[in-house]
Amino acid sequence: MCQSRKEPELNTFPVRWPREYRRLAEALGRGSPLLAMGEPDPAGEGPDPDALADPTGEQGLMPVPFLVRKHPDRVVVLAASRCFLYCRFCFRRGGEAHRGGPGPEDWGRIYDWLERHPEVGEVILSGGDPLTLPDRVLAGIGRRLGRIPHVRQWRVHTRAPVVVPRRVGARFVEALASGPPCRVVIHANHPAEVRPALEGAVERLRTAGVPVENQAVLLRRVNASAPVLADLVRRLEGIGVGLRYLHHPDRAPGTGRFWVSLREGLGVVREAEALAGRAIRYVVDLPTGHGKVPVSGLAPVAEERRGRRRRVCYRWARPQGWPGVAPGQAVEWWDVWEPREPGPS
């Protein structure tokens, strides 16, 4: 199914290409945004002082290994360590998520923890990509979650329907039906990824009653332009998939070539909304571990300049009722450096 090889010592994050997706990427020609997402660039993946070792703050939020809790009512389980395509912008690259998935004892601890926390009503499988697990394993996870009365739903976050659409077969759909009600969140970033093969995978899920949504990341060299982003939204809607979130790029080590500043990103999104005629939920996952917040809700509070570059410090104040943050608490952090007059993406 896939071709694998090792990168130079500069970056040990694997390189892996599903054959059909590689052909799709190459067909876009020189400067292919799909190739940019999966092919290493040693010149752009070296050390970067703006990078954050834990860009979403999740490493300190694991009450048991492989389980991340940012919110009172839901948790993320890093169910698998492998991917079908290792995206170069991955916010977990270099972290524990790609160094080995949970074994039987780890799953036992996860289920025990869930049973002791009745306030948790949703379990989200992430990774790696959960669909690298066999269907029988996914079905077993669903059945086990179904025996925990307060787990009302589960969610599977996966890029497999985009990069290996045929992975979404009848047995996988049956596995999703083995537990509580389930929804699937896919990860398409560029309009070219929305093709008949993906539409077929989505249709198989929707026919079985499984809702499908999409999460995308705003990425320089891929989709950080209003026409491309608007086209992505329209094409997803055309196959019955709504855009759950558009994520601001996380500042993981080795991903700097994809970053945009918050100000630049918000400008692109506002223009794309006008073109698409749709609102886009543009969010940033706070590096403090407080979860996703709307980029539009951030306030600039300071600015620093160096020559022809500048960076802005932003502040987020907890709205009334926001979970996981003490009332009145505010978070401040510096954005990436950008030209004083940002150029086109």
Alpha carbon distance 192, 21 (integer Å): 10
Q: How confident is the model at residue 76 (pLDDT cuts 50, 70, 90)?
A: very high
Q: How confident is the model at residue 9 (pLDDT cuts 50, 70, 90)?
A: very low
Torsion of CA 257, 258, 264, 268, to 10 degrees: 140
Average pLDDT over residues 292-307: 95
Q: How confident is the model at residue 45 (pLDDT cuts 50, 70, 90)?
A: confident
Distance between the two ends of the chain, CA-based, in angstroms?
34
* pLDDT tens digit sequence for 227-236: 999 999 999 9
Nearest Cα neighbor of 257 from 11, 8, 23, 56 is 11
Beta-carbon count within 10 A of 128 CB: 24
**Percentage above 70 pLDDT, the chain:** 90
Q: According to the model, what pLDDT value does residue 303 have? A: 96
Helix crossing, 104-115 with 135-146: angle to 10°? 20
More reliable by pLDDT, 225 or 2: 225
Q: How confident is the model at residue 43 (pLDDT cuts 50, 70, 90)?
A: confident
Alpha carbon distance 63, 141 (integer Å): 19
Average pLDDT over residues 216-222: 97
More reliable by pLDDT, 330 or 152: 152
* pLDDT tens digit sequence for 130-181: 999 999 999 999 999 999 999 999 999 999 999 999 999 999 999 999 999 9
Mean pLDDT of the chain: 91
Helix (H) or strand (E) holding 26: helix 19-27
The answer to whether residues 132 and 100 touch, using CB atoms and an 8 Å cutoff, is no
Q: According to the model, what pLDDT value does residue 327 have? A: 56
The answer to whether residues 306 and 221 touch, using CB atoms and an 8 Å cutoff, is no
pTM: 0.92
* pLDDT tens digit sequence for 109-134: 999 999 999 999 999 999 999 999 99
More reliable by pLDDT, 287 or 325: 287
pLDDT at position 245 over 70: yes
Domains of the chain: 9-339 (3.20.20.70)
Burial 168-202 (b: 16+ CB within 10 A, else e): beeebbebbebbbebbbbbbbbbbbbbbebbbebb
Q: According to the model, what pLDDT value does residue 231 have? A: 98
